Structure 1
Amino acid sequence: MTYCPALFISAPASGSGKTCVTAAIARSQVRRGQRVRVFKTGPDFLDPSILERASGAPVYQLDLFMGGFAHCQALLAAAAREADLILVEGVMGLFDGKPSSADLAAAFGLPVMCVIDASAMAQTFAALATGLANFRPGLQHCGVVANRVGSEAHGRMAAEGLPDDLPLLAALPREPRLILPERHLGLVQALEQPGLDAQLDAWADAWDAARRPGFAFKPLPIEDAIETAPRPLLAGRRIAIARDAAFGFIYPANLDTLRALGAELHFFSPLAHEPLPACDAVWLPGGYPELRTERLAAHPTLAGALARHVAAGKPLLAECGGMLALLDELTDAAGDTHRMAGLLPGRAHVQQHLAALGLQAIAWPEGPLRGHSYHYSTLETPLPPIAKASNPNGGKTAEALYQQGSLRASYVHHYFPSNPEAVAAFFKS
């Protein structure tokens, strides 16, 4: 058993300010010399990029569907052995989804702090807070945060009626300078925000000024666990991975899995017009190629290098945005059509509203994998799918898996730890 302070930050709904508060706490503690490890509940690439900058350490997913209980336990145990504080940011509202944030907090006995947007309420704040605390018996609620209050008096009104065992831990002011920029899919990536560090310091300042006296992080017993390492099935294999603002949707756990399998990882930036490294396999992860079509099209060698790679029968995995980059055409949200790499027959159209969202379970020929889907584009292709995903929550999102030669593509963002052997079998084929 390892003891480490831990806190689960949730909310009644998306948009309440969970990421801002989590980042504020992380940066505040880092400035005090603390080693902070932050986790994000469920599939997400954008919030973790902000939280990684705030904490100075990679942010991993805790997801009972994608990774399973034992995987999540091993990640928490590893963090507890090296950290002074563990923060876990929830997803959506506390009880939303299956599995929910509440399911995760209950599974590991993590104390819950709910962030509530108080901007349009006063004494009703206490009713909402106590409702969240009492809805599911067994959860440990340690307090609440009133976010976006208009004044000190507003903060005091929000605290009226709160029971002694559910204190107001902080009342954070409503400040436009603290608002993060957003686009479709969510927050703007950290690497695209040159002023982010100054903003994180401002959040930490606001947290330090707003938190109530007596607030303290208490040590929590975390069960020791070590995940069994996969066999080095990719020993000696070189995998080239696109990584930049156009292809930035990469789970740290996916990279860990490839390294544990023995693969040598070589990163390159298509946006910087870096050449495809010498490799045995390629992974084009998701991201925002639709925002940088002209820059990608101007790459002098990449399309040809990828075509030769596939012609040689070498594996290429393209996920979501990576798949869009390989199509014949892509029409962006403004209605402009762009030529893409032309390795995958078909065209896509980026629309103004969400096209698909949901956890996904999909059967690769090498074995089942899990992941998620989240995109604003629709795809037309003559290729028949070799498999179709299912949604564990019964949602309508059920993504197709396409194969053309050694090129495999899907809207699914796969979570490699869900089946390392299947991932190894593909990249080694």
Structure 2
Amino acid sequence: METPPLSSTCPAVLVAAPASGQGKTTVAAALARLHARAGWRVRAFKCGPDFLDPHWLALATGQPVHNLDLWMTGEDDARARLHAAALESDLIVVEGVMGLFDGEPSAADLAQRLGLPVLAVIDASAMAGTFGALAFGMQHFRPGLPWAGVLANRVASARHAQMLEGAEGFLGAVMRDAAFTLPERHLGLTVAAELPDALARLDAAADALAQTPLGRMDGAALSRWVVPFEAPAPRATVPPLLAGKTVAVARDTAFCFIYPANLDVLRSLGAQLAFFSPLAGEPLPACDAAWLPGGYPELHAATLATATTSRASLVAHVQAGRPVWAECGGMMPLFDQLATLDGETHAMWGVLPGRVTMQPRLVALGPQQLVLPQGVLRGHTFHYSRCESPLEPACRTESTRGGAGGRGEAVYRCGSLRASYFHAWFASSPEATASLFLAGEAA
């Protein structure tokens, strides 16, 4: 058993909003960037299972960004990660998910459970006096919710900002400015690495935030947000079930939905990691197992369709009986065909029989868990495509939601290959994770 370090304290804030689309990511990243470029040690976290916002928070801080979710990652895991960050940080910024009180569990649940003061970001572009009412309601809707204040976003003018100043806990107004708008597409924000001016956008947002009372808060002012993070209970040592094994991991703009914590788990299991890029036509490196994480294969379908070297090496890998775990976007190119929204149909890798078709609307969203003999992996599903295959699922994940839309995702098995729309949080069961990458393990 590992002995935990001493308890620690650190200024921390959870950036939330009344709804999605209010600018949480921009403000959270701007706050982190503002202090990081001033020499502060800043760590950022993201509520919920999101893959995309963490790319921007990581760019802002220069540090890996982990997810916190009372169900998927668990409260103990969240406490342990925050405690470890507080030991070596001057500021912790946690970005919320959806609206402050939306979801079960919600960002408010996380804030209240862990004592994180809430900074509400409200898009004030179409309101004046109602801004104060909304801020007041968010602060007082739930008794005992720690509160940091409220920031007006996308404000039209100095006069507009003056109309908002009476709100309780007002910490300033950020003007509407295309210079720091973060572009979006169907799954959420565009990945930061795809934009050559991504850091310039964050610097512009940080510059705008620096003109507000929030941005001018120094260490003494931020001390009112100090949160005590208690040392977590000792955690069981992860058995080195993958010792001596090399796991190849696809990683490029088509396969970019990778939790840094998942890589940590594989390493803690004893695995050596070798990265490769199917978009660049690279073959699997010498390995014992492979992981194809999610991402945006539909945006790169034509390129992936011609990645014959990657395909051939993957086929040879599977024919040799070596394990593959393919998640969501990592699964999609494995089928015979991928049909995009523009009406194009691409012949893909043909490792699995069937066809994947992109849809104009979200097909599935929500928490899921995969029950394996070695343990239960928690995670989620989030996709805009449908899969049609003659393969019968080897098993299904379980949805935490009952009623309509509560059906779990299919887990397909073809020899040593397992594939599903399910995204797994490996830390929820290292033993079950190891089973995905070991030959001969049962589904």
TM-score class, shorter-chain normalisation, is: over 0.9
- Counterpart CA distance in 2 for 1:64 and 1:81 is 22
1:396 aligns with 2:398: no
Aligned match of 1:172: 174
Paired AA for residue 223 in structure 1: E
Q: CA deviation at 1:100?
A: 0.5
Q: 2:209 aligns with which of 207, 210, 215?
A: 207
Q: Does the aligned pair in 1 maintain the 2:183–2:189 contact within 8 Å?
A: yes
Q: Does the aligned pair in 1 maintain the 2:324–2:436 contact within 8 Å?
A: no
Q: Which runs of 4+ in 1 moved over 6 A?
A: none
1:382 aligns with 2:387: no
Q: 2:155 aligns with which of 138, 149, 160?
A: 149
The secondary structure found in structure 2 opposite 1:66 is helix
Q: Could you list the per-position Cα deviations for residues 369-424 of structure 1 after superposition, in whole angstroms to 9, with x for gaps in the alignment? A: 11111111001011111222232243615211111111000001111011110111
The secondary structure found in structure 2 opposite 1:414 is strand
RMSD over aligned CA atoms reads 1.3
User: Identity over the aligned pairs, expressed in percent?
Assistant: 55
1:6-17 to 2 correspondence within 5 Å?
6-17=12-23
1:217 aligns with 2:222: yes
The secondary structure found in structure 1 opposite 2:308 is coil
- Counterpart CA distance in 2 for 1:393 and 1:206 is 41
- Counterpart CA distance in 1 for 2:322 and 2:10 is 45
Paired AA for residue 76 in structure 2: A
Q: CA deviation at 1:214?
A: 5.5
- Counterpart CA distance in 2 for 1:333 and 1:365 is 38
- Counterpart CA distance in 2 for 1:27 and 1:194 is 17
1:294 aligns with 2:302: yes
C-alpha distance 331-152 of structure 1, shift in aligned 2 (>3 A): same
Which moves more between the two structures, 215-224 or 142-151? 215-224
Q: CA deviation at 1:221?
A: 0.9
Q: Does the aligned pair in 1 maintain the 2:165–2:172 contact within 8 Å?
A: no
Q: Could you list the per-position Cα deviations for residues 58-85 of structure 1 after superposition, in whole angstroms to 9, with x for gaps in the alignment? A: 1100011111111111110110111111
Q: Does the aligned pair in 2 maintain the 1:387–1:401 contact within 8 Å?
A: yes
1:420 aligns with 2:430: yes
TM-score normalised according to structure 2 size: 0.94
In structure 1, the gaps of 5 or more residues are none
Q: Could you list the per-position Cα deviations for residues 135-155 of structure 1 after superposition, in whole angstroms to 9, with x for gaps in the alignment? A: 111111121000011112211
Aligned match of 1:62: 68
Q: Does the aligned pair in 2 maintain the 1:363–1:387 contact within 8 Å?
A: no
- Counterpart CA distance in 1 for 2:370 and 2:308 is 35
Aligned match of 1:44: 50
- Counterpart CA distance in 2 for 1:204 and 1:145 is 14
Q: Does the aligned pair in 1 maintain the 2:328–2:423 contact within 8 Å?
A: yes
The secondary structure found in structure 1 opposite 2:71 is coil
Aligned match of 2:142: 136
Q: Does the aligned pair in 2 maintain the 1:145–1:170 contact within 8 Å?
A: yes
TM-score normalised according to structure 1 size: 0.97
In structure 2, the gaps of 5 or more residues are 1-6
